[in-house]
Structure 1
């Protein structure tokens, strides 16, 4: 019985009941070390009768090895791998080292894990337990969080235990249960159960207060202490973290064991998988017999069964810290000897590396091969860890510098730029070639830009680019692109001449036919000569962008595509970048790609899909220390039209932009506020916001906001302001002449000089550009003009279409505005639930539409990042709501939904 944990036990028991009834559940237990999270997971496993239980635990020693924890969890389920479709099955096989091939895309791998869990649960409800999630390797954490957010009706429970405080935000947003210290009465009772002699009540109260009711601390801290130590020892050590004091208690107990038992614990601590046969092989080579485990088990430090399991992770770290350096090397050496080089080459290389004292080029080369394998599987962090250790074992200074530079790049690509400066400082301890020194400066400047893409990084990037000239032309071009991009992002908060200086410096480079060369040339023209001169060059450059390494420049290419009104290119490049980033495990790129794709979906009226991508973006960004530009979140909030929520986000983002020196983000907040206020019919406020937005020519944002300014100024009775904005917009649209540009211009002309021709051209152009949101705004404005012109029947057709579309999208303010206008024509407005006339949820509506289109459950699951069983469950709910019994009846039942 767990003392004082009734609330937590009831929550876990309810979770098991839900899973047995066919639902899926996710729960994150958060608490400090020793709070009892593992005990609660044990309770869950013991009371999950009728369910199959699989367990994994993060291990600090393996936190850099890609997919280590995911493999632990999924290994017992691989018998169901045959039911997982290709290419998902191939992705899992490659990630787990069962086969070779191209690095698996994270999206495909996430779907594969989701499918594998669902298939296993079809046989018997499945409970997955992940302990010590703070030490789960980054790729495993990202994939498991991805699956957790998509579980619905598979009879799967996914329960994590994570130590607090923890920096990793990957699991944020999932249902949580905080495991706090015991209440005073329960804490005293637990303490009394281990006290070996009477203790003064005041001392007992002090122990309870200092441990804050932490169960493990209450059980472990008093062990081996005399009454005098109990009375006087706690007060003088209050500054030592509680986990550290508990670990010291375990160290004292380990120190009291026989030498062979201590060595057994050390070996088990360094063999993190708990592979008992392999562990016994290693112990045999060390001359240690099975009897050594008896003392450790008697001391309640370890359990020996199918797996070797420590009573608590702090026992593992205590055993590790108790080992002398020579003992650690010897144990690593033996573990390397007994690890199969064919089946587990990377773990063998890791053990060999830690068994080596001094330099060893052979082991360094083995580590480098492991790094290549890790990078090929998408494990950027793991690859960096192998490269760092390889550098430590490499004698040649120049070779060591190259390895560390590669490790630093991998750390930055993996989304851990905060780890790069220390690596670069180590690189600079040895004499460097001019090229190496230039690359160091470039990486340092890149980290500055990744962590704060604003004014502070422009000059460092420029200096690095100049040093690379004549040494690495491609590197110089890419660095100049970053410098120009940094100046663009700094915008109105940057130096007045930063953009021009960066562009003029870049013009001295020799021309190149690569994408980076063409893009740089186009951007320098844009910065020096203006939009009209650069537009054709920008279009040609963006059309030449391929789907590989060039996509690392999406953060700059996507705004450039919008600058020339090519939303089709922005969509294509964002989709390609998502696939590429997932394939290579580039977490530094993925959140940016997801953000731009979500913004494109907003313009297509797919608010639910955009919101889902933004959730995934938040999960990916949480696994990095790189801030994400919230452009799509701002646009989505503005179009949803929920005034308080949108205003709070806008104000919060504006304050953050000013503190970071990101002027373009100021422009984005002004644009979002102008959209929000226009939707709400607050035209004076929209006019003020739009004026702020166009006070600086931020790429893409400037012309979006010009359109908002025209509408706001016309409605606020400021025709001169509207005409000026229309004319400024015309300078840009005439230089491009595609459907989006001509649609925007036609609508601006229609607002100032209303005519059927202008309005109809705007509607048609936006339709041809596949931009439903601005198309429906054009129809709304057209309907409003028709009503004021007393053409009520024609007005109703436009207003009804806009109202229905905005309601379905979830654009609440614009839907209300259209509804008011429709009512003014004399037509009653039917109340509708956003998402569907038949009261389907957004997800049910998506699934129903795909089913009508002839997609199978598996195809729908892949398209919507769900399991096929969840799709089947949703379809049953759709059939019930519509009163039908099969897919054949769906099309007729949905009508025009």
Structure 2
């Protein structure tokens, strides 16, 4: 641990340095691996005082005075010692030339020992001011113990004594704490105890050990859960990960169950083998049980009698390898220990212990089927494994714990000789459970494998295909592939209207497929009819949610009148029916919120998001939960609430929970790109955007990598609104670079798709590319497009698309020289944006108005044009849109107006958050991002974001322009 930074011990280091002074006895306690040795290394040369250190070696054979000899053998022996110190010649032969002659042998052993104690005390007293550190005194030999009992009441005034020890290994015959009570009057003493590190401490360690991995606090929490916060275990794990990684693994740098380095494994096994036989059997039994268990159960699995088990349990607990988890249960100290101990068991013994555990737990009044499945699997009882796994999954599904069911079913489906019928049933349950989750790639692969089974009846094949299609649609964002599966499933399920209705209503929701809106409506009509004929209320609820979603997605005002399934009250018992209604209500609320954000109904979106959040949770419905969080951030972007938004978006984007939830990561990537562009970093914006839309008509790359049939999965096929957002941003950048033809190229295929589908409410974000038609000299195409957009928005309720139409009409009017009409249309568009509100778009309209004013003949519009630019500049500056503000300043200068310089505000400006101010001050003092990150326990990426935000708010271009505040 010497190469790792000392984290989480600042208070202990301060107290130790203050206490470890001459004339003081300090006791430093801590379990094995808590970093006592690392901490005492901070004592070297404090205040010019020499530090001598010695270790008590472990071992059965006592080694008299071992730590004293180690500490003193390199110390120059002072002159002037009394003849008594000649007794030390045998202990310190390397100093024989500086020691007096050896005295006559003592009359008896007791006298000889007393003579040595006096001689060692005199030698220590003759040294310069010194701190003597004796480590691991729980292993101290009897002579060293007796010496300490003699020395502490006679501690020399210029000698400090520091003793480190493990309380769990301290012999009852050696009460170290009593030594401090024996010090003479005026001698100080202090007792310090080291506990585990916190997740924040482990984050600092991870940033040091994994400098290229940008670990997050969530990574640190996983490491803490794995190691219990034990410093030695955490450091060894981190350096093991650093040594094994090649930088190409897209998974979290710190997984839930990291690989165990051999050094850490052997250290843990040494601690286990240090126990006596009965205590060791109890720890192994607890590790086989794998979770909290009662003392009688642990004793039963260990095959110990109650009397032997009772005595051994106290020793196992005292060692720190077993720990209480409740008043009546115990468990291994950490999952790390449990894995190492379990893996070290011989195969035959491990199977036998699992069989004993299986038999004992099966007798419970309410058998824990999830644990029984694990024991059966490890015991090699395959049928019992499958039975218990399915029962546990069924129970989890009844309780709404779909994520738990997914884990159980995925594990059960790994059985190599699973009968085909059983495999089909388990795969179906896995598909249903995975629909609410955030990682469906395994479920998709299993469903495809089962679908390849020859001879499946049409109805069974259709049910499997429907679940596959739904997963491809929702979790994998593969709309075209999903459509093909769902269309085939609907045909195969002709005799099962309840299931066919689910496939049909999924096809009714508009996606990026080429189906027209009329086709989607026909699918919905068929779904409503099938649901009615099925007489299944659950299916009726599903269809009702998708009906509302369809109407909202096409801007039909009737969407908000569709009645969603009533969720009941929070006090209703969690029956399968109430859970299903709550889930459908949450899903419907999320879908309506998503459509409301796209349409520009932000207050309505707030209400639906509140409903979705109230009836879903991070664990029981993680897909809905994560989508709600992303939509709230989207609303913050639209409303101009950009303070700290980039950091918040980055934090969510980096979450390993979202690694395979492509639709949510795409939305977060778009938000980050939009912020980067507005805040003056088009390079970062372009990098993020090409992951979603590489080029005109191109396919996006899969953020999580290929998964699926044959080991490859098609890149995500994002919804049209998501792709339109990306295309619009790319078009803005192309226009800014003077390339209007390329800007139109970014949106052309999406405009064609929207026209083919007839869903013009999706066109709002394509405006920059459509406006570019005017600059390309393709006014006729732009006018035709404007007419089709106007017709397509008739009878819809879509404020964002309506404002887009006004801006496009205004751009056409301005290009044709109809300046008054253009200004009138822009004024209507600005009012529409402020009503939503969308202040960034409103500022862009102000800027467009200025350009119309400047286009008037004979300079008639110069004064109102400048006023409009000043208003736009003020709004851009308030938002932090430095890219736009710079463009407006250039335009003002081109018209002979000198814009006010961007204000260089001091670090204590009220618009800097406290954290931004703190980081800006450190950056101004010359600290690097990594140094700031280590100091404040943040990730370097977070520091980078804070510095960028601070520079933007302060109107500075470089961190070199930062100036530290006066001291």
Q: Structure 1 residues 46 and 257 mapped into 2: Cα distance closer, same or farther (>3 Å)?
A: closer
1:758 corresponds to: 825
The one of 4, 10, 22 aligned to 1:17: 10
TM-score w.r.t. structure 2 length?
Answer: 0.54
Offset at 1:831?
A: 0.7
1:244 corresponds to: none
Q: Structure 1 residues 507 and 689 mapped into 2: Cα distance closer, same or farther (>3 Å)?
A: same
1:418 corresponds to: 441
Q: Where does structure 2 lack aligned partners over 5 or more consecutive residues? A: 15-30, 43-194, 207-214, 325-330, 533-539, 568-581, 702-713, 814-818, 919-937, 939-945, 955-967
Q: Report if the CA contact (8 A) 2:489-2:503 is conserved.
A: yes
Offset at 1:604?
A: 1.3
The one of 877, 888, 897 aligned to 1:818: 888
The one of 695, 699, 703 aligned to 2:752: 695
Q: Does 1:465 align with 2:490?
A: yes
- Aligned counterparts of 1:837 and 1:258: Cα–Cα separation in 2: 62
- Aligned counterparts of 2:748 and 2:566: Cα–Cα separation in 1: 34
- Aligned counterparts of 2:672 and 2:628: Cα–Cα separation in 1: 16
2:556 corresponds to: 535
1:633 corresponds to: 669
1:651 corresponds to: 690
- Aligned counterparts of 1:129 and 1:740: Cα–Cα separation in 2: 43
- Aligned counterparts of 1:556 and 1:287: Cα–Cα separation in 2: 60
For 1:551-570, what aligned pairs fall within 5 Å after superposition? 551-552=586-587, 560-561=595-596, 566-570=601-605
Quick check: 695-704 or 727-736, which moved more? 695-704
- Aligned counterparts of 2:549 and 2:461: Cα–Cα separation in 1: 27
Q: Report if the CA contact (8 A) 1:413-1:587 is conserved.
A: yes
- Aligned counterparts of 1:259 and 1:40: Cα–Cα separation in 2: 20
1:231 corresponds to: none
Q: Report if the CA contact (8 A) 1:693-1:702 is conserved.
A: no
For 1:848-859, what aligned pairs fall within 5 Å after superposition? none
For 1:738-753, what aligned pairs fall within 5 Å after superposition? 739-753=799-813
Offset at 1:770?
A: 1.6
Please give the root-mean-square deviation of Cα atoms over the aligned residues, in Å: 6.1
**In the TM superposition, what whole-angstrom CA distance separates every residue of 1:772-828 from its partner, at most 9, and x where no partner exists?**
222221122123333444445544443333223223323232222223334446353
Q: Report if the CA contact (8 A) 2:373-2:387 is conserved.
A: no
The one of 481, 486, 508 aligned to 1:456: 481
Q: Does 1:773 align with 2:840?
A: yes
For 1:515-594, what aligned pairs fall within 5 Å after superposition? 516-517=542-543, 535-538=556-559, 540-541=561-562, 548-552=583-587, 560-561=595-596, 566-582=601-617, 585-594=620-629
The one of 382, 396, 400 aligned to 1:371: 396
Q: Where does structure 1 lack aligned partners over 5 or more consecutive residues? A: 22-38, 51-123, 135-141, 182-210, 221-246, 848-865, 867-873, 883-897
**Helix, strand or coil at the partner of 2:617:** helix
**In the TM superposition, what whole-angstrom CA distance separates every residue of 1:672-721 from its partner, at most 9, and x where no partner exists?**
20133446676454344343542321757851245223433345555434
Q: Report if the CA contact (8 A) 2:402-2:621 is conserved.
A: yes
Q: Does 1:316 align with 2:342?
A: yes
- Aligned counterparts of 1:846 and 1:603: Cα–Cα separation in 2: 26
- Aligned counterparts of 2:456 and 2:492: Cα–Cα separation in 1: 14
2:932 corresponds to: none
2:287 corresponds to: 269
Q: Structure 1 residues 356 and 835 mapped into 2: Cα distance closer, same or farther (>3 Å)?
A: farther
Q: Report if the CA contact (8 A) 1:539-1:561 is conserved.
A: no
- Aligned counterparts of 1:796 and 1:19: Cα–Cα separation in 2: 63
**Helix, strand or coil at the partner of 1:650:** helix
**Helix, strand or coil at the partner of 1:488:** coil
Q: Structure 1 residues 739 and 518 mapped into 2: Cα distance closer, same or farther (>3 Å)?
A: same
Q: Does 1:476 align with 2:468?
A: no
- Aligned counterparts of 1:129 and 1:771: Cα–Cα separation in 2: 38
- Aligned counterparts of 2:880 and 2:199: Cα–Cα separation in 1: 36
The one of 600, 619, 630 aligned to 1:595: 630
2:21 corresponds to: none
| Higher RCO (C-alpha under 8 Å, 6+ residues apart) | 1
- Aligned counterparts of 2:917 and 2:827: Cα–Cα separation in 1: 30
For 1:248-327, what aligned pairs fall within 5 Å after superposition? 263-264=281-282, 266-273=284-291, 277=295, 281-282=299-300, 286-287=304-305, 289=308, 303=321, 308-309=332-333, 313-319=339-345, 321=347, 323-327=349-353
Q: Report if the CA contact (8 A) 1:554-1:573 is conserved.
A: yes
Q: Report if the CA contact (8 A) 1:683-1:713 is conserved.
A: yes
Q: Structure 1 residues 316 and 834 mapped into 2: Cα distance closer, same or farther (>3 Å)?
A: farther
- Aligned counterparts of 1:596 and 1:590: Cα–Cα separation in 2: 10
- Aligned counterparts of 1:657 and 1:537: Cα–Cα separation in 2: 34
For 1:76-115, what aligned pairs fall within 5 Å after superposition? none
Q: Structure 1 residues 688 and 833 mapped into 2: Cα distance closer, same or farther (>3 Å)?
A: farther
Q: Report if the CA contact (8 A) 2:853-2:865 is conserved.
A: yes
The one of 196, 215, 218 aligned to 1:145: 218
Quick check: 313-322 or 516-525, which moved more? 516-525
Offset at 1:657?
A: 1.8
Q: Report if the CA contact (8 A) 1:835-1:845 is conserved.
A: no
- Aligned counterparts of 1:677 and 1:714: Cα–Cα separation in 2: 14
- Aligned counterparts of 2:766 and 2:658: Cα–Cα separation in 1: 37
Offset at 1:41?
A: 6.9
The one of 732, 736, 754 aligned to 2:792: 732
For 1:343-492, what aligned pairs fall within 5 Å after superposition? 367=392, 371=396, 375-376=399-400, 379-385=401-407, 405-420=428-443, 438-449=462-473, 450-473=475-498, 475-485=499-509, 488-489=511-512, 491=513
- Aligned counterparts of 2:840 and 2:340: Cα–Cα separation in 1: 55
- Aligned counterparts of 2:667 and 2:656: Cα–Cα separation in 1: 14
Quick check: 283-292 or 705-714, which moved more? 283-292
Offset at 1:171?
A: 5.2
Q: Structure 1 residues 19 and 758 mapped into 2: Cα distance closer, same or farther (>3 Å)?
A: farther
**In the TM superposition, what whole-angstrom CA distance separates every residue of 1:831-865 from its partner, at most 9, and x where no partner exists?**
14799993633577999xxxxxxxxxxxxxxxxxx
- Aligned counterparts of 1:519 and 1:157: Cα–Cα separation in 2: 49
For 1:44-59, what aligned pairs fall within 5 Å after superposition? 47=39
Q: Structure 1 residues 389 and 686 mapped into 2: Cα distance closer, same or farther (>3 Å)?
A: closer
**Helix, strand or coil at the partner of 1:804:** helix
Offset at 1:757?
A: 2.6
Offset at 1:267?
A: 0.8
